[in-house]
């Protein structure tokens, strides 16, 4: 089982040589089933928190637009091509770069 609370990495490049994050070659997809909409949001927030806590800024968590109750962890650049922009500080998703830039200013004031 993968450790969800490993020591914080300094950047995404550290993950290539970190045994806590290595996924065996024979695993190509993982599926988790949940019962309620609240479970989806809780799991999504836990995944976002884990990415932020471990300073993994190249990946984000999004909801699949085609399949209900499906979460995906994808590269940040891919999410931006889909029109979803994530704050690297708190993980909130926005529909435009303008909204994200406005939100970023709040982090600097607080």
**pLDDT value at 17 more than 70:** no
- For residue range 74-110, list pLDDT tens digits in order: 999 999 999 999 998 888 999 999 999 999 898 888 6
**Domain positions in the chain:** 12-109
Determine contact, residues 75/58, Cβ cutoff 8 Å. yes
pTM of the model: 0.61
- For residue range 61-72, list pLDDT tens digits in order: 998 878 777 888
* Cα separation, 62 vs 100, whole angstroms: 16
| % of the chain at pLDDT higher than 90 | 28
State residue 31's pLDDT score.
57
**DSSP three-state, residue 106:** helix
**pLDDT value at 73 more than 80:** yes
Q: Where are the alpha helices (DSSP H) in 19-96?
A: 37-53, 76-81
């Amino acid at each position: 089982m993968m450790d969800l609370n490993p020591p914080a990495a300094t950047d995404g490049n550290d993950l290539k040589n970190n045994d806590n994050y290595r996924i065996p070659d024979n695993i190509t997809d993982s599926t988790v089933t949940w019962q309620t909409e609240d479970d989806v949001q809780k799991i999504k927030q836990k995944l976002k928190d884990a990415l932020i806590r471990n300073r993994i800024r190249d990946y984000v968590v999004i909801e699949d637009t085609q399949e209900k109750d499906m979460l995906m962890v994808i590269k940040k650049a891919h999410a931006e091509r889909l029109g979803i922009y994530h704050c690297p500080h708190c993980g909130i998703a926005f529909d435009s770069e303008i909204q994200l830039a406005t939100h970023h200013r709040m982090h600097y004031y607080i």
